[in-house]
């Protein structure tokens, strides 16, 4: 799990959330995880 967060924070430049509020952060996290999984599928 930690390599995924490290990849998102360091390689994707996503150290902080752009939005505020639990619901918006949950949506943003979901989109980031979907993008990460799609990138893994392409490789």
**Separation between Cα atoms, residue 1 and residue 5, nearest integer Å:** 7
Q: What is the pLDDT of residue 26?
A: 93
Q: What is the pLDDT of residue 23?
A: 96
Q: Per-residue pLDDT tens for 1-43?
A: 788 888 877 777 777 888 899 999 999 989 988 988 999 999 8
Q: What is the pLDDT of residue 20?
A: 93
Q: What is the pLDDT of residue 22?
A: 95
Q: What is the pLDDT of residue 27?
A: 94
b/e code 7-25 from CB counts within 10 Å (16+ = b) = ebeeeeebeeeeeeeeeee
Q: What is the pLDDT of residue 10?
A: 78
């Amino acid at each position: 799990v930690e390599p995924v967060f490290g990849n998102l924070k360091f390689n994707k430049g996503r150290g902080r959330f752009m939005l505020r509020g639990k619901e918006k952060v949950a949506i943003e996290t979901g989109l980031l995880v979907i993008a990460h999984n799609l990138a893994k599928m392409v490789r």
